[in-house]
Amino acid sequence: MSVLKRFVKDTAIYGLATILPRVMSFVLIGLHTDKLETTGYAENTSFYIGAAFLNVLLTYGMETAFFRFFSRSDKKEQVYSTVLIALTVTSCIAFVILWLLKEPITEALELPVRYMGYLIGVTILDTLVVAPFAYLRAKGKALRFAGIKLTNLAIYVSLNFFLLWAIPHFSLSFEWYDTNELLTYIFMANLAASAVTLFLILPDFFKTKLVFDKQIFAQLWNYGWPVLVAGMAFVINENLDKLMLGNMLDKDIMGAYSGCYKLAVFMTIFIQAFRLGAEPFFFNHAKNKNAPITYATILKYFVIVGAGGLLIIVCFVDIFKEILIRDQEYWKALEIVPYVLLGNLFLGIYHNLSVWYKLTDKTRYGMYFSLLGAGLTILLNLFLIPVIGFMASAYATVAAYGVMMLISYFYGQKYYHIPYNVSRIALYLFVATAGALVSFYIFRENYIMSALLILAFTGLVFFLEKNELKSILNRNK
């Protein structure tokens, strides 16, 4: 099996575990926006912003560090057991600290303190399974990984539909059920799914001898702490705009913005599926003499697929909004969609480019770039929200991720040269973005023109890439 074919196969399996949850999240967007007012959806968003911050803090870069050292260490099992023990111990300590700080944390998130127990429970449980899931990916056990992830999904989605839809729809009577506590039931469903996931993966805690190696942990920490800082900065880039909209405008706008932001989930699916397959792949093939050429090829086709996805989503955004967000109160923020899609595509390119500082152990650069993006996010939102409202957050997303992408490229070529086809990549980005904006602002809901724009982009790709595609397909026969 060729290198590229193996990469595509692994990405497809990991993508299944990522795509199906996201596909079901489409349905849940409709369910949640139907059942929750925009202000309620704003609180739901705040809860998961808090979870995102805590997940990054509690894993402190150990997942990425694990892949780096597991791939090249002759003590692979000790690397795994060290990460497993470290995350388990720190999670137990974090549980106590978070419980003691529950009031200031919920105040910062503007959440009722009664939700803090669910927030702590979900984040602690999700942290405990990080090492076993990383171990499955590193060992190539993609099917077991996907099976457990999909079980988590089934429980979460089923409980959401039972608690939010089935009980009121069929007029089921339970003494504990309160129609004013729908948010609580969403968080309960998440907690239950996370608990079952831990139970299913628990055997992997004991598949190796549990040994904590201080020297290995020191190496993991030195590699991982910049990843922690970068991760915190990333969460700021991804989520702080929503909190700032709630604080500087109101919860109604925050909820509408957050709901429409979910339409970018198509791009998020693609990026997450790519990252799940790409991270172990990049490390495992770093010693291959053709690795730089392979990385360059992967990025080009990543951009082609991502840019094509952006164009399709924007061209048919009014169909997607009717399917996913039926409550028209949310549509007031629909104009953000082209921009958050483009921003997230820039983010995906940035993740692809990040291979250079991960392979050269210069993870501090990832930290610097992410901090730069976070600074731009804060400043642009702070100064522009009072002037142009929620569109400031969409523009800030494009600016922050665009700057991170460009600066990572220029630094990367200095320390680890990869022969990216920059002109071709830039062409695809320009054509897809221009087509998306023309469709959104000039030919809105003109689906004949939308189809022509998509066809033109596809034709361009085929004309420019047909010879290389034939070559790749012939090698994989």
**266-293 pLDDT tens trace:** 787 777 767 766 666 666 666 777 788 8
Amino acid at residue number 451: A
Distance CA 323, CA 103 (A): 38
DSSP secondary structure letter of residue 205: G
Nearest to 276 by CA among 362, 422, 374, 149: 149
Distance CA 389, CA 200 (A): 46
Amino acid at residue number 471: S
**232-249 pLDDT tens trace:** 888 888 888 998 998 899
Helix 291-315 and helix 337-353: axis angle, to 10°? Answer: 170
pLDDT at site 12: 64
Model confidence band, residue 117 (pLDDT cutoffs 50, 70, 90): very high
Distance CA 370, CA 355 (A): 15
pLDDT at site 5: 60
414 CB-near residues (< 8 Å, 6+ apart): none
Distance CA 347, CA 450 (A): 25
Burial degree of 90 (CB within 10 A; 0-12, 13-18, 19+):
middle
190 CB-near residues (< 8 Å, 6+ apart): 118, 122, 156
pLDDT at site 39: 87
Separation in Å, CA 477 to CA 347, 370, 468, 470, 473: 33, 41, 15, 11, 6
pLDDT at site 286: 63
- Mean pLDDT is lowest, of 87-101, 117-131, 239-253, for 239-253
pLDDT at site 411: 92
Separation in Å, CA 130 to CA 66, 201, 374, 431: 10, 10, 25, 39
pLDDT of 2 strictly over 60: no
Model confidence band, residue 1 (pLDDT cutoffs 50, 70, 90): very low
pLDDT at site 385: 95
pLDDT of 312 strictly over 90: yes
* Mean pLDDT, rounded, of the chain: 88
pLDDT of 342 strictly over 80: yes
421 CB-near residues (< 8 Å, 6+ apart): 296, 300
- Mean pLDDT is lowest, of 30-44, 114-128, 299-313, for 30-44
- For the chain, the domains span 3-475
pLDDT at site 15: 62
Distance CA 180, CA 326 (A): 21
Q: What percent of the chain has pLDDT over 90?
A: 53
- Mean pLDDT is lowest, of 101-110, 117-126, 187-196, 421-430, for 101-110
Phi and psi, residue 212, nearest 5°: -100, 115
Q: What percent of the chain has pLDDT over 70?
A: 91
First to last CA, the chain: 9
Model confidence band, residue 128 (pLDDT cutoffs 50, 70, 90): very high
Distance CA 397, CA 340 (A): 6
**Which pTM value belongs to this model?**
0.79
Distance CA 242, CA 333 (A): 12
pLDDT at site 278: 65
Amino acid at residue number 159: L
Q: What is the DSSP track for 433-449? A: HHHHHHHHHTSTT-HHH
pLDDT of 474 strictly over 80: no
